[in-house]
Amino acid sequence: MKNILTAKFLTDFAATASNMYRLGWDERNGGNISLMLDESELSGYLNLNKPVRTIPMGFSEPSLEGKLFLVTGTGKYFKNVEGDPETNLGVIRVGKTDAELLWGYKDGGRFTSELPAHLMSHAARLKADPAHRVIMHSHPTYTLAMTYVVPLTDKEFTRALWQMCTECIVVFPDGVGVLPWMLCGTNEIGEATAEKMASYRSVIWAQHGLYAAGKDLDETFGLLETVEKAAQIYMLTAPLKRLNTITDEQLEIIAKAFKVTYRKDFLK
């Protein structure tokens, strides 16, 4: 067997976690990432017929039964992932109500408490785009700050973000979904997030954080980056008299130039 610690999917995953911590998006044990893997990617690294142990999931997602995921562990710090992946990460196979641990969580740990939200979101995004394999959750500072001062509607939040950077309507033309404050780590917030994920690749949890989905780690990380950059500009300018902005007409020009399909109903 090859050493899984050298696998590109794992080293890229660990580097992404480190970047999210370095940027201040995932303090302490905040945030989580899940990456769907193909059996071919694990071939030669793990014996998929020899699970280490079984971990109850507390819910079921029939569309994902048998699917493989690399997932951050509960209570684990992103800053420690690169130094000790085997403790802080795990490879699981989803079952009906339990998951088989195939590698990782070597200290006896388990997957993130927000696994229900992740898997429900994966299921929703796979229906929207079968290429989507990544869900990331983080606590980006300025995005959280915006949830205190911007109406918690998809339209108002999206339009405020689009107006901050020329690239925003290009990077997330589908806009952002917004949820009111809800208790994290529950099936209820997972269901609400998945419902939004049917239409959006990014979902904001008010006073908590941001969920994002994408085809790979870079694309998903880039989506988080762009939303947070726009939120930063919004919060830096919010106390000031605004003399200029990107108008709705200019947003339409940008979308046409880059040939993106955007939420036209979000413009006034």
pLDDT tens string 129-158:
999 999 999 999 999 999 999 999 999 999
Question: Domain check: are 167 and 72 in the same one?
Answer: no
Could you read off the pLDDT of 164-214 as tens digits, one per residue?
A: 999 999 999 999 999 999 998 888 898 999 999 999 999 999 999 999 999
Q: What is the DSSP string of 153-164?
A: SHHHHHHHHHTT
Could you read off the pLDDT of 26-71 as tens digits, one per residue?
A: 999 889 999 999 999 998 999 999 999 999 988 888 999 999 999 9
Residue whose tokens read 């927000």? 114
Please report how the helices 187-197 and 115-128 are oriented relative to each other, as an axis angle in degrees rounded to 10.
Answer: 20
Catalytic residue among 61, 100, 114, 228: 114
What is the domain extent for residue 31?
27-112
- The yes-or-no verdict on residue 236 having pLDDT over 90 is yes
Looking at the structure of the chain, the number of domains it has is 2
Which amino acid is it at 190?
G
Question: Domain check: are 121 and 235 in the same one?
Answer: yes
Question: Domain check: are 108 and 47 in the same one?
Answer: yes
CA distances from 9 to 118, 143, 207 (A): 18, 28, 31
**Annotation marks residue 114 as catalytic:** yes
The pTM assigned to this predicted structure is 0.94
CA pair distance 149, 144, nearest whole angstrom = 10
CA pair distance 163, 174, nearest whole angstrom = 14
Question: Domain check: are 129 and 249 in the same one?
Answer: yes
CA pair distance 184, 197, nearest whole angstrom = 17
Question: Domain check: are 242 and 202 in the same one?
Answer: yes
- Beta-bridged to residue 71, according to DSSP, are 34, 90
Indicate the residue among 61, 79, 112 that finishes a domain: 112
